[in-house]
Every structure is written in structure tokens, then in C-alpha cells.
């Protein structure tokens, strides 16, 4: 039998574990993510990944100084699925609705020129 102090200690320990579990998910998109002046070296990539449930929607926007290859992708076993692909662009924006629970990554790759990237990703309310 657990005494009153033991029960309180157990409850506090369980609450701490639950809170740490929520805070530890680096892919969770609770609020807008943005960055300015992200330096991408020639042929290097920058990636921002978010966890989405089926039906979740995001709004994205970016600009870059030099053209980049941009995609939004996810991994399914050994396959890379690319719902959005843009080649040699300096800006793009749009909406994306997830059709399955997955970690989705927005990826920018510089070409021969280095570039600076500004971007914003924000969750949208469910429809």
C-alpha cells in the first residue's frame, strides 16, 4: 500500500513523464514555425519536418535569394513520396492537407549558388 506522500510522489513523477513526452516531440506543429536568413551552401539542403494527422492542413511560404529545388515529402518504407515538387524557384506558397498520419518534411536544396532562405510554416484549423 502506498502512503499519502508516496501517492503524491508517484503522481508528480507520472505527470513529469507525461509532460516530457509531449515536449520531446520535435515534429509537433502547435504554432507557426519560421526562419529568416537560413544559409544554404551550394548543393546543400535544409529540411523542416512536421508531424501531421490525416486531415491536418498547413500553409507554407518561402523566398530564397538564388533558385532552389523545393519539395514536401514523406517516407513510406523504402519509398520517398513527393506530394509537392518545385524546381529552380525563388519563392512559393501554398496549402497542404495530409491524407495520412505521417512525418512530412519541407526540403530546400541549393543549386550551384549558395542561397539565403526565409520560410514560414503554420498549422491551419480543421475544415
The whole-angstrom separation of Cα 7 and Cα 19 is 18
State how many domains the chain has.
1
CATH number, domain of 113, equals: 2.60.120.680
pLDDT digits (tens, 9 = 90+) for 15-70: 444 444 455 789 999 999 999 999 999 999 999 999 999 999 999 999 999 999 99
Residue 48 belongs to domain spanning: 27-124
**Could you give the dihedral angle defined by the CA atoms of residues 91, 114, 84 and 73, in that order, rounded to the nearest 10 degrees?**
-140
In a domain, 92, yes or no: yes
Sequence-distant (≥ 6) Cβ neighbours of residue 89 within 8 angstroms: 64, 67, 68, 70
Q: Which pLDDT does position 15 carry in this prediction? A: 47
Report the helix count and the strand count for the chain, using DSSP H and E.
Answer: 1, 6
In a domain, 86, yes or no: yes
Amino acid at each position: 500500500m502506498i502512503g499519502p506522500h508516496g501517492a503524491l510522489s508517484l503522481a508528480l513523477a507520472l505527470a513529469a513523464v507525461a509532460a516530457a513526452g509531449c515536449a520531446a516531440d520535435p515534429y509537433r506543429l502547435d504554432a507557426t514555425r519560421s526562419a529568416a536568413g537560413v544559409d544554404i551552401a551550394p548543393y546543400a539542403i535544409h529540411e523542416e519536418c512536421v508531424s501531421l494527422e490525416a486531415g491536418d492542413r498547413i500553409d507554407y511560404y518561402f523566398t530564397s535569394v538564388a533558385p532552389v529545388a523545393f519539395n514536401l515529402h514523406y517516407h513510406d518504407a523504402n519509398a520517398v513520396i513527393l506530394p509537392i515538387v518545385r524546381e529552380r524557384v525563388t519563392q512559393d506558397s501554398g496549402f497542404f492537407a495530409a491524407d495520412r498520419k505521417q512525418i512530412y518534411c519541407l526540403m530546400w536544396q541549393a543549386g550551384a549558388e549558395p542561397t539565403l532562405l526565409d520560410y514560414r510554416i503554420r498549422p491551419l484549423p480543421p475544415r
